[in-house]
Amino acid sequence: MSRNRFAEFFLVAAIGGVGYYALEVAWRGWSHWSMALTGAVCFALYYRICAVSRRPLWQRALAGAGIITAAELCVGVVVNLWLDLAVWDYSNLPLNLWGQVSVLYSALWFALCLPMAGVCRTLRRRVFGMAE
């Protein structure tokens, strides 16, 4: 990986980690460091999808929601079920899986991924100087 690609990946991951953590603090008043790591991975993956995919926006947003939901399930199983850290619990929501993910939050992730595609495009064009 070239130095520029590493810098791009690092900045995108940092934006995702800080953004995810800040979103959680704004939404529920607190977060956990594992959410910053999860956000970093999720945004880096979604950024890559937006960079290479020519699919319609709704399909990219659906892929992003799937990535975030899958990541929350994996992290939730580890931090909430195995380590019993009680970072979140969606057991009270309908259509949840083990209290770690729910259809409601997957829909919210889909909605958030719609404008985030524009953020990805802006980063690529204005920050990293790449043409679409």
* 30 lies in some domain: yes
Instruction: Tell me the whole-structure pTM to 2 decimals.
Output: 0.92
- The answer to whether residue 35 scores a pLDDT higher than 80 is yes
pLDDT of residue 5: 83
CA angle 16, 114, 72 (to 5 degrees): 50
* 132 lies in some domain: no
Q: How confident is the model at residue 122 (pLDDT cuts 50, 70, 90)?
A: very high
pLDDT of residue 131: 64
- The answer to whether residue 130 scores a pLDDT higher than 90 is no
Which among 63, 47, 54, 43 has a CA at the least distance from the CA of 106?
A: 63
Q: Which residues contact 58 (CB under 8 A, 6 or more apart)?
A: 114
* 51 lies in some domain: yes
DSSP annotation of 90 reads -
> Any idea which residue has 């975030």 for tokens?
68
3-state secondary structure of 96: strand
CA distance 105 to 54: 26
* 24 lies in some domain: yes
Q: Which tens digit of pLDDT belongs to each residue from 45-56? A: 999 999 999 999
pLDDT of residue 30: 95
Which among 79, 1, 4 has a CA at the least distance from the CA of 38?
A: 79
Sign of CA pseudo-dihedral 61, 72, 36, 21: positive
* 92 lies in some domain: yes
* 110 lies in some domain: yes
* 65 lies in some domain: yes
Which among 74, 73, 57 has a CA at the least distance from the CA of 111?
A: 57
- The answer to whether residue 23 scores a pLDDT higher than 90 is yes
Which among 35, 50, 48 has a CA at the least distance from the CA of 8?
A: 48
What's the domain count of the chain? Answer: 1
> Could you tell me the residue range of the domain that residue 94 belongs to?
3-127
